[in-house]
């Protein structure tokens, strides 16, 4: 049985339980790019979080993730990586991802970080980045290029060069699937070894019986890949990691 709080009890719930999302825009090079910003209630300054979507782009699931992080106390900015385009099927997602210039994507992520860092209600020293799938790889790219305080990767592309890994100054949490053909466990082990050599702190977990996108949306194209127990554990690890690295105290 699910117990719902009474009105009196609800009034005692923390203000952070509420969040409001809105479309925002900010400069990236010569262009004006957009995103979806969800803020906790209150004055802040809040820890910030750059949210990098999967190869579908800034869809409803990505916005819901930003809302969820805002309810947990983060100023969460979900990046519109395709600048207005969203894929609803794998064929379109493949086309959009292949056509996405990596330099433009990296520039837009740096611009997202700068936008959060420039807000009065965000603590610029407590901004992290999180990404899934394609977004996980881009999250690591941002960690190499900006002073992020924490990096979370869900089954994203991993750098292989020691010099590149050494550019990462934040701790890295990673969640991967043992059955992922694109990001196999051996590549996770190799990344962990080179990260240790470079002095980069990592906490990487590979889930048996899980493949790519195991913690993504349980509905839509990714639905058959969803593994509820692994997803629950990975998300709990993420919450604990972000609270430890981005929240004061």
Phi, psi (rounded to 5 degrees) for 86: -135, 140
Is residue 94 among the annotated active site residues?
Answer: no
How many Cβ atoms from other residues are within 10 Å of residue 5's Cβ? 10
Is residue 212 among the annotated active site residues?
Answer: yes
* Closest alpha carbon to 19 in 92, 72, 79: 72
Residues 6+ positions from 202 with CB-CB distance below 8 Å:
171, 172, 173, 174, 191, 192, 195, 196
Is residue 180 among the annotated active site residues?
Answer: yes
Phi-psi region of 155 (alpha: psi -120 to 50; beta: other; left: phi over 0): left
Q: Give me the catalytic one of 180, 186, 233, 239.
A: 180
Rounded alpha-carbon distances, angstroms, from residue 15 to 8, 116, 245: 14, 21, 22
* Closest alpha carbon to 21 in 48, 41, 2: 41
Q: Give me the catalytic one of 133, 203, 233, 235.
A: 133
Q: Give me the catalytic one of 212, 233, 235, 239.
A: 212
* Closest alpha carbon to 75 in 35, 127, 28, 114: 127
Decide if 41 contacts 18 (C-beta within 8 A): yes
Q: Report the catalytic residues.
A: 133, 180, 212
């Amino acid at each position: 049985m699910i117990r719902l709080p009474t009105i009196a009890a609800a009034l005692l719930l923390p203000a952070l339980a509420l969040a409001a999302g809105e479309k925002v825009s900010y400069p990236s090079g010569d262009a004006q790019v957009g995103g979806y910003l969800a803020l906790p209630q209150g004055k802040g300054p809040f820890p910030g979080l750059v949210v990098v979507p999967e190869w579908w782009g800034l869809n409803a699931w990505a916005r819901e993730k930003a809302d969820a992080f805002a309810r947990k106390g983060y100023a969460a900015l979900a990046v519109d990586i395709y600048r207005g385009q969203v894929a609803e099927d794998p064929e379109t997602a493949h086309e959009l991802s292949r056509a996405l210039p990596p330099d433009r994507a990296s520039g837009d992520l740096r611009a997202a970080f700068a936008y959060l860092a420039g807000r009065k209600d965000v603590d610029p020293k407590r901004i992290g980045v999180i990404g899934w799938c394609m977004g996980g790889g881009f999250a690591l790219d941002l960690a190499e290029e900006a002073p992020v305080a924490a990096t979370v990767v869900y089954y994203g592309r991993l750098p292989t060069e020691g010099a590149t890994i050494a550019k990462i100054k934040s701790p890295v949490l990673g969640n991967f699937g043992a059955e992922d053909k694109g990001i196999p466990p051996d590549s996770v082990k190799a990344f962990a070894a080179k990260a240790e050599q470079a002095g980069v702190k990592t906490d990487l977990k590979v889930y048996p019986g899980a493949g790519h996108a195991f913690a993504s949306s349980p509905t839509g194209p990714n639905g058959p890949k969803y593994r509820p127990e692994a997803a629950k554990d990975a998300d709990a690890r993420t919450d604990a990691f972000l609270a430890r690295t981005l929240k004061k105290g």
